[in-house]
Amino acid sequence: MSELSMKLPAIKLRWLAQRTKPRPGLRLGDIEAFEKEHGVLLPNELSEYFQGCDGTSDDGSDPFWFLPLGNVVTAEKAGLSMGPHKHLYLIVDYLQLCYGYGIELSDQPSEQKPVYSLGFIEDKIVAPSFSAFLDLYLADDSSLHPPKPEVHS
């Protein structure tokens, strides 16, 4: 059992506690169709995630919406990329596209890719992998929340 598949039960419990419904996983053929349509290969851990769970419904109280694969688009198309990264794909929406989290996809196979914050002042890496991003999410790490505005007196 992989590290990611061991985290999925805890992730799903968090979602359910926030009245957010996990969606059933996808067949490998569905994932391959997405890859073919976009000319990319999902990192192995992201493919495994979508096979175990196709994101969440967007009607719960969790400010993080884990997008179903059918809703995954480039950050540029979502209007969230502030940097030079042309191949960042939005995988998690924060507060209805106020911010988001994306992963760089290419046509090269990989085990994992870093996750970037999107829509902040600049795109920056928040986790070295999707699995590490899930750890931050489970811990409700402050690095996943928008920076607090500075108060000037």
Q: Quick one: which of 53, 47, 52 has its CA closest to 35?
A: 47
User: Residue 136: is its pLDDT beyond 70?
Assistant: yes
Q: What is the predicted pLDDT for the residue at 139?
A: 93
Segment 84-110 mean pLDDT: 83
Q: What is the predicted pLDDT for the residue at 150?
A: 64
φ, ψ of residue 22 in degrees (nearest 5): -70, 145
- 4-52 residue pLDDT tens: 888 999 999 999 998 899 999 999 999 999 999 999 999 999 999 999 9
Fill in the DSSP letter of residue 75: H
In the chain, where the domains are located: 3-139
Q: What is the predicted pLDDT for the residue at 51?
A: 95
3-139 maps to CATH 3.40.50.1100: no
User: Residue 93: is its pLDDT beyond 60?
Assistant: yes
